[in-house]
Amino acid sequence: MIYSISPLAIGLFMAIVVAVLAISVYFARKSSSSTNYFAAGGTIPWQVNGIAFAGDYLSAASFLGICGMIAFSGYDGFLYSIGYLAGWIVALFVIAEPIKRLGKYTFADALDAIFKFPGIRLMAGISTLVVSIFYLIPQMVGAGSLVVPLLGLPHWIGVIGVGSIVIFIVATAGMKSTTYVQFIKGSLLIVFSLILTFAILNKGLSTKPSAEYHQFESLEATISGDLISGLPAGYSATDTHATATGLFVRTEKAGTIRWWKASSDNGPVTLAETLTITTRADGSILYNGAPREEQAFYQVGHLDRIVVDGQDVDSTGRLNPISYLSILNQSRVMLFSEVKFSAGGEQVRLWYQNPVEGSRILRPGMKFKVDEGSSLVSKLNFVSLMLALFLGTAALPHVLIRYYTVPSAKDARKSTILAIIAIGFFYILTLFIGLGAMTSGVIDLTDSNMAAPLLARNFGILLFAIISAIAFATVLGTVSGLIMASAGAVAHDLVDGIFKKHKLTDRQRVIIAKVAAIATGIVAILLGIIFKGVNVSFLVGLAFAIAASANFPAIVMILFWKKTTAHGVVASILVGMLLSVGIIMLSPTMAPYFGVAAGDALIPLDNPGIVSIPVSFLTLIIVSLLTKKKVVANT
Amino acid sequence: MDHGPNITTGKDYAPEYKSRLGLRLFLVYSILYAGFIIINAFIPRLMAFILFAGLNLAVVYGFGLIITAIVLGLIYNHLCTKKEQQMQAAESAGGQKP
């Protein structure tokens, strides 16, 4: 919207797509058997698998979502990074090797290796599908969001484009090409994020991020009741609107309408410039009072005040990572806070300048309600999210299947450790990329997901093109992993669960998986189009919560509690899945989709984990104890 | 129903030792992570406390959790590999039992 299309970005994107398709075709010849298709023949070297883990895991939500959230809400965005990484500790220390010892291709195979019980495979397959689809939605929505500004195409074309490429990859070549796509993408993402971080530190902090950065205006005026006087020549005040955050004044100058924030509601005041998107009664939309094509809606984000060793400075020059954070902590950042109101028949979406101390930005509470205005429920909501991130990672189907692509348990362990190093390193960089975007005058207030690519553009069109192309590849890599997991679940678990008597050949199974991959891809495309505009990070959090509630208790208890029975596992998966999805559906975030005010939602929690994970564990324990004589583990 | 075994090469040594070690390290990390969540949720202002070099507790604890995960992972791998090699050596030294 406020950035033009880059031929270089398009060219690089096409190059990445061609490379990905070439890899697929190359490996297609080698993946006719079931083992090859689902588990890459169990032959992937641990080094490649480790980076592929990173490529798989660092989805659009990590790269675009977290960097954007840090750029908009400071430290709270980084809490996602910490939670996402901590989940790998569970994967490494609790799940990786035992499940490798048990399993074959899917999570359901692992369960089935212990219990020969009808229903367990079907239930595990369904839960794999549910989690994968919840995880797919944000990836597809993200794909569409990227395409709009970068290629100048409509959202739905982006979704269909990414969906089609991924269907081609998965349906032709299976796990091996998926692994190599993720390996390449993971490597590129980490290397170029590092380059971006170097560029941020090299530039340092500055009150005027670039020569082209917008100069904010302010007007002097006098307010007395409803009367506004003393405005500079040419300006006339045409309306006012009072909100909880202050008084806003509408002015007109040479036919252009702008809104300003008054420093107080009476007496001599300063009116500070705001940014607005106004929808008029006739449906036309104005950006800062001008039609879209005039590009009057500028990018923002700068330091209001920089303090180095107690002295105010305009810029710092090159900084090291520690001094960057410590100077930011003492300085003041200009953030932009949003209010929405209607005035004079117009719907106004307005962002006003809101100076915030760096020390506030670098501690929790700007996004998550744990400090000002918090309640016990809002605090538990935060705890619930962090719990789901911690326990959900190891139970995500596309993470679980990656344990079967390496030759041995030892390789599963080594590749997990390499993944932790790569992912941990990347997450440390997200803090610098996010804060860099916050203070470099690059933020598009209408789309937090674009913070990282727009920051890259600040350092030259080449870096922008590369980062954008990697962001596309990020979506491709993660979506192929998810569709692969779904296809495996359908071909093995659902088909076997439903047609128990009918033994399928290897070849039939691969054909079913490919058809399933195409079907899942089409479902993902449709959901990606339907859910356009829904918060990407929120949806990812839900996928983690469902995985942690439905799959995690079953996996852990099978590995570590000998009294676990098949009935217990089935009940736990069912209860965990239904309870987590149910709480989500009745949560304040979903309420508006059903025409209910968020405050009137039946359940005050947005994140179900804190309830559904313990209940799922309890269900497993109780049902197992009640049924222990009926079905005994055959190990 | 059975799709044949997943291709596996090499014997898996010392599974019980590795499980026990993994659970212990998991417990250590869980305590650190729980402490972090509790401070964030219930005493968030403590996170503004400057620890050293102008860095506050939020940044130090957050980076600390990421670095600790990497360090614990490397320790785990080192100990597991050592044990696996010991057992492998003991097995080959133990001779060619029928």
Q: Work out the average pLDDT over A195-203.
A: 93
Q: Mean pLDDT over residues A24-43, rounded?
A: 60
Looking at the domain assignment, is residue B25 inside a domain? Answer: yes
Neighbouring residues of A623: CB distance < 8 A, sequence distance ≥ 6:
A565, A567, A568, A571, A572
How many whole angstroms separate alpha carbon B1 and alpha carbon A112?
9
Q: Do B29 and A86 touch (CB under 8 A)?
A: yes
Residue B14 Cα, gap to closest chain A Cα (Å): 11
Q: How many angstroms separate the Cα of A33 from the Cα of each of A39, A105, A482, A540?
A: 10, 13, 20, 33
A79 — pLDDT class (breaks 50, 70, 90): very high
Instruction: Identify the sign of the CA torsion A106, A107, A112, A118.
Output: negative
Segment A423-438, tens digit of pLDDT = 999 999 999 999 999 9
Interatomic CA distance for residues A523 and A216, integer angstroms? 46
With an 8 Å Cβ cutoff, are A330 and B54 in contact? Answer: yes
Q: What is the DSSP letter of A493?
A: I
**Amino acid residing at A468:** S
For residues A117-141, one letter each, b for 16 or more C-beta atoms within 10 angstroms of the residue's C-beta and e for the rest, the string is beebbbbbbbbbbbbbbbbbbbbbb
Per the CB < 8 A criterion, the answer to whether A619 and A568 are in contact is yes
> Which of residues B11 and A32 earns the better pLDDT score?
B11
What domain range is B64 assigned to?
A: 15-90
B3 within domain boundaries: no
Give the per-residue pLDDT at B8: 44
Q: Is A442 a residue whose pLDDT tops 70?
A: yes
3-class DSSP state of A346: strand
What is the band of A210 on the pLDDT scale with cuts at 50, 70, 90? confident
Chain A environment of B73 (Cβ under 8 Å): 89, 92, 416-417, 420-421
Those residues whose C-beta lies under 8 Å from the C-beta of residue B94, and which sit 6 or more positions away, are: none
- Please report whether residue B21 resides in a domain: yes
> Going by C-beta distance under 8 Å and a sequence separation of 6 or more, which residues neighbour residue B58?
A75, A362, A363, A364, B40, B47, B48
Residue B90 tokens read as: 């003991």
State how far Cα A153 lies from the chain centre.
22
* pLDDT tier at A200, thresholds 50, 70, 90: very high
Q: Is A122 on the interface with B (CB under 8 A)?
A: no
The lowest-confidence range among A76-80, A368-372, A501-505, B84-88 is A501-505
Q: What is the Cα–Cα distance from A53 to A182, expressed in whole angstroms?
A: 7
Q: Which residue of B has its CA nearest to A432?
A: B59
The reported pLDDT for the residue numbered A243 is 84
- Region B11-19: mean pLDDT is 77
Q: How confident is the model at residue B69 (pLDDT cuts 50, 70, 90)?
A: very high
Q: Report which of B68, B66, B67, B46 is spatially closest to residue B58, judged by C-alpha positions.
A: B46
Residue-level pLDDT at A560 = 82
Angle (CA) B41 B46 B51, round 5°: 135
In a domain, B8, yes or no: no
- Using CA coordinates, name the residue in chain A closest to B75: A417
User: Is any Cβ of chain B less than 8 angstroms from the Cβ of A402?
Assistant: no
Phi-psi region of A303 (alpha: psi -120 to 50; beta: other; left: phi over 0): beta
Would B76 be classed as within a structural domain?
Answer: yes
- Confirm or reject contact between A335 and chain B (CB < 8 A): no
Q: Is A338 exposed, middle or buried (0-12, 13-18, 19+ CB in 10 A)?
A: middle
Hey, which residues does A278 pair with through a beta bridge? A286, A348
* Closest approach of A424 to chain B, Cα-based (Å): 6
> What pLDDT sits at residue A438?
92
Highest mean pLDDT among A245-249, A500-504, A533-537: A245-249
Are the beta carbons of A568 and A627 closer than 8 angstroms? Answer: yes
Option in B7, B15, B29 nearest A35 (CB): B7
Instruction: Using the predicted structure, report yes or no on whether residue A269 has a pLDDT greater than 70.
Output: yes
Read off the DSSP letter of residue A206. B
Stretch A510-519: mean pLDDT: 80
Which among A153-157, A190-194, A210-214 has the top mean pLDDT? A190-194
DSSP state of A594: G
Higher pLDDT, A522 or A397: A522
Contact A119, A570 (CB under 8 A): yes
Compute the distance between CA of residue A240 and CA of residue A432 in angstroms, rounded to an integer.
39
Look at residues A393, A472, A382, A518 and name the one whose alpha carbon lies nearest to residue A135: A393
Residue B96 predicted with pLDDT over 60:
no
pLDDT in tens, A319-342: 999 999 999 999 999 999 888 888
Size of interface A-B (CB pairs under 8 A): 172
For the record, the structure tokens of A119 come out as: 């229903």
Quote the percentage of chain A above a pLDDT of 90: 19
Q: At what angle do helices A609-626 and A376-392 cross, to 10 degrees?
A: 60
Spatial CB neighbours of A191, under 8 Å, sequence gap ≥ 6 = none
Q: Does A369 touch chain B (CB under 8 A)?
A: no
- What total number of domains does chain B contain? 1
Q: CB A413 to CB B80 under 8 A?
A: yes
Q: Give how far B15 is from chain A: nearest CA, Å.
A: 8
Scanning A28-47 for CB atoms below 8 A from B yields 34-35, 39, 41-43
Q: Please judge whether B44 and A78 are an interchain contact, meaning their C-beta atoms are less than 8 angstroms apart.
A: no
DSSP letter at B6 equals P
Between A35 and A543, the more confident residue is A543
Q: Residue B54's closest chain A neighbor by CA? A: A326
Residues A441/A301, Cβ–Cβ less than 8 Å: yes
Task: Test A42 with B8 for CB contact under 8 angstroms.
Answer: yes
pLDDT at A616 over 90: yes
- How many helices (H) and strands (E) in chain A? 24, 11
Distance CA A46, CA A434 (A): 31
Q: Determine, yes or no, domain membership for B6.
A: no
B86's tokens = 């010991």
- pLDDT confidence band for B97 (50 / 70 / 90): very low
Banded model confidence at residue B20, pLDDT cuts 50, 70, 90? confident
Residue B51 within a domain: yes
**By C-alpha distance, which of A68, A162, A154 is closest to A532?**
A154
Determine the straight-line distance between the first and last CA of chain A, rounded to whole angstroms: 60
A69 vs A114, higher pLDDT: A69
pLDDT at A229: 82
Measured between CB atoms, does A472 come within 8 Å of chain B?
A: no
- Mutation target vs A (from B20, B37, B77, B81; most A CBs, 10 A cutoff): B37
Q: What is the rounded average pLDDT for all residues in chain A?
A: 82
Reported ipTM exceeds the 0.90 cut: no
The alpha carbon of residue B93 is apart from the nearest alpha carbon of chain A, in Å, by 22
Q: Does A104 sit within 8 Å of B6, measured CB to CB?
A: yes
Lowest-confidence segment of A152-156, A229-233, A306-310, B50-54 by average pLDDT:
A152-156
User: Is B98 part of a structural domain of the chain?
Assistant: no
Q: Is the pLDDT of residue A135 over 90?
A: no
Which pLDDT value is given to residue A4? 63
Cross-strand pairs, A218: A272
Residue A382, chain B, CB below 8 Å: the answer is yes
Assigned token pair, A192: 């170029």
The H or E element containing residue A545 is helix A536-550
- In this predicted structure, the answer to whether residue A71 has a pLDDT above a threshold of 60 is yes
Interface-testing mutation among B2, B12, B40, with chain A (most A C-beta atoms within 10 A): B40
Helix axes A175-203, A7-28, angle to 10 degrees: 150
Per-residue pLDDT of A557-595, as tens digits, reads 888 888 888 889 899 999 999 999 899 888 887 777 777
Least confident of A32-41, A207-216, A492-501, A531-540: A32-41
The interface residues of chain A toward chain B in range 79-98, judged by CB-CB distance below 8 A, are 79, 81-82, 85-86, 88-90, 92-94, 97-98
The average pLDDT across A47-53 equals 80
Cβ separation of B54 and A326 shorter than 8 Å?
yes
Is the confidence at residue A446, as pLDDT, over 70?
yes
In one-letter notation, the amino acid at residue A209 is P
Half-sphere exposure of A633 (CA within 13 A, CB side): 18
pLDDT, residue B1, reads 34
C-alpha A196: how far from its chain's center?
20
Identify all chain A residues contacting B23, using CB atoms and an 8 Å cutoff.
93-94, 560
* pLDDT greater than 50 at residue B2: no
Cα gap A307→A600, rounded to integer Å: 45
What's the pLDDT at A1? 47
Residue A48 to residue A68: CA distance in whole angstroms:
29
* Chain B residues inside the 8 Å CB shell of A408: 8-10, 12
Q: Which residue has the higher pLDDT, A453 or B67?
A: B67
pLDDT attached to residue A30: 60
Which of B23, B59, B81 minimises the CB distance to A325? Answer: B59
Q: How confident is the model at residue A36 (pLDDT cuts 50, 70, 90)?
A: low
Please say whether the beta carbons of A11 and A5 come within 8 A: no
A104 contacts on B by Cβ (under 8 Å)? 3-6
**% of chain A beyond a pLDDT of 70:** 88
- Identity of the residue numbered A175: M
End-to-end CA distance of chain B: 34
A416 chain-B contacts, CB cut-off 8 A: 73
B7 close to A42: Cβ distance less than 8 angstroms: yes
The dihedral sign for the CA sequence A531, A532, A535, A538: positive
Structural domains of chain A in order of their starting residue, each with its CATH number: 7-39+47-204+375-626 (1.20.1730.10), 218-361 (no CATH)
pLDDT grade for A197, boundaries at 50, 70 and 90: very high
